[in-house]
Structure 1
Amino acid sequence: MPSFPATEIPGSEETKFYQVGSFAIGNRLIEDKLLSIQSGPDRFNSLTSGHRACQGCGEALGARYALDAAVAATDGQLIACNATGCLEVFSTPYPETSWNLPWIHSLFGNAPAVATGVAAALKAKGREDVRVVAQGGDGGTVDIGFGPLSGMFERNDDVLYICYDNEAYMNTGVQRSGATPPAARTATTQPVGPEPGNVFGQGKNLPRIAMAHEIPYVATATVADLHDLEYKVTRAMEMRGARYLHVFVPCPLGWGSASKDTIKLARLATQTGLFPVFEAEYGDITSVKKIRRPAPVEEYLRLQRRYAHLFRKGGSPEVIARLQALADRNIRRYNLIDEESLDEFVKYEGDEK
């Protein structure tokens, strides 16, 4: 696999290293602006210990960092509305809770509407210093809550909505959602036949749908870069109006991956081009995270049992090629790497075959 140093990619920044632990050796050498919100000894945790998430849960990690960043950006003046789903179930088994902030449990599909009502009530009471965040999984966002979310965008309600995307309904048994990628097997996709797994051409690209509403801010992030996630939450909280953040969070249970590979999978999703990381304002992309070390999609797929059928006897090279084509389209659509590096990568793939 060829290496693409950051210096060879125009517009990319030099790699920066930062610590997330308060006792990490070398913390004193890092600029304050590069430190994670989690790095201070007096840090505040909005999602505390005692929750029941699975080992290696990407959603728990993403929610903790996202909400901590939102709390820090608002000086603690924050109310969270949470859709039914994995995050709600593992963090608040009645009568217990792991949340250390004002938190409301909504139905599966109405978190955007509930958050809108909270924001309207705060405005009526003259308390616009208190900010509102709504959050949910891809099922409650892309499918069941799609209508209320679109309404929130259209009205430009003063709410930041965060979707933690693990690409299926994990809480209820790994059923397919509108965010499930092509060829991935779930409990409700075709188990056998010439093309098992989720079909191509279905589903929704919600970040692009949000951009089509021309709301003030849309961004994507992954748990592989927590500093970037914190930055985007902070940036969103500096704005008013409807904002949308789509966070890629691998699920070891639903994906059939090792719990230790959660961060690796999130990183590979961006390095392959399957999950582009970018920011947009009022419908126009303002920044993208360049791919420094491109990876073939096969490297990402092999780590997940939901794609195991693609590598059994005989394999499915044509399906893998279609997935690679989708990744390559993202790379060109979002200008994730320069054309010269992309051509070199495509040539390398051809040589390997």
Structure 2
Amino acid sequence: MSRTAPKTYITSGHSACPGCCDAFAAKFTLMGAGPDSIVVNPTGCLEVTSTPFPLSSWQVPWIHSLFENGAAVASGIEAGLKALGKKKDTKIIVIAGDGATMDIGFGAISGAFERGHDFTYVCMDNEAYMNTGVQRSSGTPYDASTTTTPPGKFSFGNPRPKKNMPAIMAAHGSPYVATTSIGFPRDMIRKVKKATEVMGPTYIHAHAPCTTGWGFDTSKTLEIAKLAVETCLWPMYEMENGEITQVRKIKNPRPVEEYLRVQKRFKHLFTMVGGEDEIKKIQAMADWNIKHFGLQ
């Protein structure tokens, strides 16, 4: 018997870049959540490309929030549906980038999770502010070049590691937190489905390579996403009530150099004096992930 693929609930015809990570992320999110969903979408590439007035690619109810208040809007929708007696089966989902999630909207997210609102938050982490010119965010990885952290005489790029947003959300008491990647559609679809079926505020952090901001060929989006996982720079796991319950094992981790070399944002590590030592530091981060999360 053939297996029928779930509907996507977001149509083609949007103006996203070829190979756009946000389009993949939105598609997989709604494949997991299903048609009885309401999407809150803060400012960003996904909002701009999918809803040019008077058109929309969304096949479910969709609302644009400000950069900073997606979680607050989701909280209000949940409270309104409860007041109307219509919340039972409807899934409320925030789909937002790393800037709206980890930086500008962090306060609203913290408040909503602390209050225990019943919705799912999906962060599409493309590791910079792509919609406004590839500026650094707290999701930008160590040594990556952005327009606000350019490499040069005194710098190898971004000097700080990524903010550990999943751990922060678990610390808020979220009953379900998971990391995933658009390079593994079935994993993302399954985790979104599970998150939307858990009562309370749940969080999905999805790695989402950006062809424009990272500097790779548009046909390589999913390949780059898989490389991040295979080099152990992006561990995929689930947390339930603060405990790690499942981890995707990597039998033979690939060296981080394979991942870094195919992206323009890390090109300087292979041309600058001292770059080899920086690559070793990044490899050490991957090795730490292997040990900490038990990836082997």
Q: Give the TM-score normalised by structure 1.
A: 0.81
- 90-99 or 180-189: bigger deviation: 90-99
User: Does 2:109 match 1:146?
Assistant: no
Residue of structure 2 in register with 1:243 after alignment:
202
2:141 pairs with one of 181, 184, 194: 181
User: Does 2:18 match 1:55?
Assistant: yes
User: In the TM superposition, what is the alpha-carbon distance from 1:45 to its structure 2 partner?
Assistant: 2.7
Residue of structure 1 in register with 2:28 after alignment:
65
C-alpha deviations, 1:81-104, integer Å up to 9, x for none? 111101111111122211111000
C-alpha deviations, 1:19-49, integer Å up to 9, x for none? xxxxxxxx84xxx5xxxxxx44xx5331101
1:264 pairs with one of 217, 223, 229: 223
Contact 2:119–2:196 at 8 Å: present in 1 too? no
User: Does 2:163 match 1:204?
Assistant: yes
Q: What SS class does the counterpart of residue 133 from structure 1 fall into?
A: strand
Q: What SS class does the counterpart of residue 134 from structure 1 fall into?
A: strand
User: In the TM superposition, what is the alpha-carbon distance from 1:63 to its structure 2 partner?
Assistant: 1.0
Contact 1:309–1:315 at 8 Å: present in 2 too? no
How far apart, in 2, do the equivalents of 1:44 and 1:311 lie?
43
How far apart, in 1, do the equivalents of 2:98 and 2:198 lie?
24
Q: Please list, as runs of the form range in 1=range in 2, the aligned pairs for 1:80-159 lying within 5 A after superposition.
A: 80-129=39-88, 130-159=90-119
Q: Please list, as runs of the form range in 1=range in 2, the aligned pairs for 1:269-308 lying within 5 A after superposition.
A: 269-308=228-267
How far apart, in 1, do the equivalents of 2:40 and 2:32 lie?
16
How far apart, in 2, do the equivalents of 1:45 and 1:274 lie?
29
C-alpha deviations, 1:195-246, integer Å up to 9, x for none? 2310034x41101111111211000110111011111011112211000000
Q: What SS class does the counterpart of residue 221 from structure 1 fall into?
A: strand
Q: Aligned pair in 2 of structure 1 residues 313, 108: CA closer, same or farther (>3 Å)?
A: closer
Contact 2:151–2:268 at 8 Å: present in 1 too? no
- Of the two, which has the highest radius of gyration? 1
Q: Which amino acid aligns with 1:187?
A: T
- 311-320 or 241-250: bigger deviation: 311-320
Residue of structure 2 in register with 1:221 after alignment:
180
User: In the TM superposition, what is the alpha-carbon distance from 1:132 to its structure 2 partner?
Assistant: 0.7
How far apart, in 2, do the equivalents of 1:47 and 1:78 lie?
12
Percent of residue pairs bearing the same amino acid type: 48
Q: Which runs of 5 or more residues in structure 1 are unaligned?
A: 1-26, 33-38, 338-353
User: In the TM superposition, what is the alpha-carbon distance from 1:285 to its structure 2 partner?
Assistant: 0.6
How far apart, in 2, do the equivalents of 1:190 and 1:308 lie?
12
C-alpha RMSD over aligned residues = 1.4
How far apart, in 2, do the equivalents of 1:256 and 1:132 lie?
33
Q: Which amino acid aligns with 1:298?
A: E
Residue of structure 2 in register with 1:333 after alignment:
292
User: In the TM superposition, what is the alpha-carbon distance from 1:313 to its structure 2 partner?
Assistant: 5.7
Contact 2:136–2:148 at 8 Å: present in 1 too? yes
User: In the TM superposition, what is the alpha-carbon distance from 1:135 to its structure 2 partner?
Assistant: 1.2
How far apart, in 2, do the equivalents of 1:288 and 1:153 lie?
24
Q: Which amino acid aligns with 2:14?
A: H
User: In the TM superposition, what is the alpha-carbon distance from 1:315 to its structure 2 partner?
Assistant: 5.7
C-alpha deviations, 1:142-197, integer Å up to 9, x for none? 00000001111111110100000000000001000010001000011133114231
Residue of structure 2 in register with 1:195 after alignment:
155
User: Does 2:285 match 1:322?
Assistant: no
2:125 pairs with one of 141, 165, 174: 165
User: In the TM superposition, what is the alpha-carbon distance from 1:314 to its structure 2 partner?
Assistant: 4.3
User: In the TM superposition, what is the alpha-carbon distance from 1:300 to its structure 2 partner?
Assistant: 0.1
How far apart, in 2, do the equivalents of 1:103 and 1:176 lie?
28
Q: Which amino acid aligns with 2:105?
A: G
Q: Give the TM-score normalised by structure 2.
A: 0.96
C-alpha deviations, 1:100-148, integer Å up to 9, x for none? 1100000011000000000011011111222211110000000000000
Q: What SS class does the counterpart of residue 309 from structure 1 fall into?
A: helix
Contact 2:36–2:60 at 8 Å: present in 1 too? no
Q: Which runs of 5 or more residues in structure 2 are unaligned?
A: none
Q: Which amino acid aligns with 2:111?
A: G
Q: Runs of 4+ in structure 1 displaced over 6 angstroms?
A: none
